[in-house]
Structure 1
């Protein structure tokens, strides 16, 4: 296969390069990644500024391009321009840090995979624990084996797989759903040397999803979490409720935003 790799940690990220070298043993690899970190950029694309693209000599085994764009930009340019649409799969990662629960909204890594899904090819986002001694080689061999044995044709159009690795040894993988894992944000006010106030955002992870098949629950038990995600954000159940209100089947006066 011809595989396009990208990420949001930057073109020299260890997780990206180890995955690329591992997959290059069996596949034709093209790397197109941001020249600098683009974490938490979500699915942003560049529309009012030029996107610079240059080939870099990080490794010699396969072509590697750095861009000034976002992960979604990288996938667009990689597929539409550099590969002339001749790409069989998009893989985004291996990201430094998990992308679980509501992380997928903000993640540049996940958005790289979703852009591949939008362009009609099998796509996966791959993320690992944010620690220096993580074994990217074992994770890369897992991904190599997974893409050779998984039947991507079972996935609906515009669907990507969000894959997260656990700490330590891998017990296997499990199909999971996106959890409601989220953050309780905090903002610390600070003062710059000129006396101006600025804010530093941080927060605490809130993990109160009790479903045994949720992504972070599975990862915490030593399994690789494989979650199908889509670019569409429609809430089907809420749509049915709205239609009932629209058609007069429910009391319109009893339905209020914020109620």
Structure 2
């Protein structure tokens, strides 16, 4: 009897035509049966948003050769939900999200549609991982990120993570020969220092563009930011349980209830 190949769901937040998702499909298709469900337009920064109050559209597309693929009018999280319910009719063996154009290290994981898609899969008990390359260019070289994605996806298929967890993987922009290795990290304590650039349209009405600079507040050498700055691929285990257990214990001890 022929052994059934694992089913791998591929998604992203940069949209189904982005070079990064095509690189990811090429990376993981030797590992199993690949199905692609991704947004029909860029959805960066949408976080864990879902679509309410308006219908969702799901259209099959021919963008990946003989690989089954669909574009969705909703968010990255919508894509994962629809894929599980209406296309796969059950959970896949693995969900990979990306490869994102740009970093998703440190605080970016909160805003990232790439990571939220992977997190939604993890909520459903599906082994999942988000991949990002620290290069925003449309013509970025995804060859190294693709190698990393294939190797780590193979590991996840062989040894799935515990329920409630997933991986956040970031790849630096350096030649493959210069990479020092893969480093298991914690999320850096960092934030965006933001401002809104105020402008006036031709009708005299004000409008705003969000601008800002990334500020790393963390001097630790065990963080994802440090690893990426020093030539490593960073891997951060992530969980969606946001409970602060130590604070819970402290409040239980010190507060009168």
| Shorter-chain TM-score above 0.5 | yes
2:206 is matched with which residue?
Answer: 197
Unpaired runs of 5+ residues, structure 2, are 1-5
- Pick the structure with greater CA Rg: 1
> Aligned to 2:73, which of 47, 68, 75?
68
CA contact (8 A) 2:91 2:124 kept: no
2:255 is matched with which residue?
Answer: 246
> Aligned to 1:77, which of 75, 78, 82?
82
1:167 is matched with which residue?
Answer: 173
The whole-number CA distance in structure 1 between the counterparts of 2:172 and 2:43 is 23
1:257 is matched with which residue?
Answer: none
The whole-number CA distance in structure 2 between the counterparts of 1:26 and 1:42 is 28
Unpaired runs of 5+ residues, structure 1, are 249-259
CA contact (8 A) 1:100 1:181 kept: no
Q: Greater shift after overlay, 19-28 or 192-201?
A: 19-28
Q: Greater shift after overlay, 152-161 or 56-65?
A: 152-161
Once the 2 structures are TM-superposed, how far is the Cα of residue 233 of structure 1 from its aligned partner?
A: 1.3
Structure 1 residues 69-127: Cα deviation after superposition (integer angstroms, max 9, x where no partner): 10011011111210111410001100000001111111100000000100101000000
The whole-number CA distance in structure 1 between the counterparts of 2:156 and 2:181 is 14
The whole-number CA distance in structure 1 between the counterparts of 2:231 and 2:241 is 30
CA contact (8 A) 1:19 1:137 kept: no
The whole-number CA distance in structure 2 between the counterparts of 1:131 and 1:33 is 19
Provide the secondary structure at the position in 2 that maps to 1:239.
Answer: helix
1:43 is matched with which residue?
Answer: 48
1:256 is matched with which residue?
Answer: none
Structure 1 residues 38-61: Cα deviation after superposition (integer angstroms, max 9, x where no partner): 000010111221110001111222
The reply to whether residue 188 of structure 1 matches residue 188 of structure 2 is no
CA contact (8 A) 1:101 1:180 kept: yes
The reply to whether residue 232 of structure 1 matches residue 241 of structure 2 is yes
Residue-pair matches, total? 248
Provide the secondary structure at the position in 2 that maps to 1:233.
Answer: coil
TM-score normalised to structure 1 length: 0.91
Once the 2 structures are TM-superposed, how far is the Cα of residue 131 of structure 1 from its aligned partner?
A: 4.0
Once the 2 structures are TM-superposed, how far is the Cα of residue 230 of structure 1 from its aligned partner?
A: 1.1
The whole-number CA distance in structure 1 between the counterparts of 2:190 and 2:18 is 26
CA contact (8 A) 1:5 1:92 kept: yes
The whole-number CA distance in structure 1 between the counterparts of 2:18 and 2:135 is 13
The whole-number CA distance in structure 1 between the counterparts of 2:129 and 2:158 is 10
CA contact (8 A) 2:31 2:154 kept: no
Q: Please, what is the CA RMSD of the aligned residues? A: 1.6
Provide the secondary structure at the position in 2 that maps to 1:79.
Answer: helix
TM-score normalised to structure 2 length: 0.91
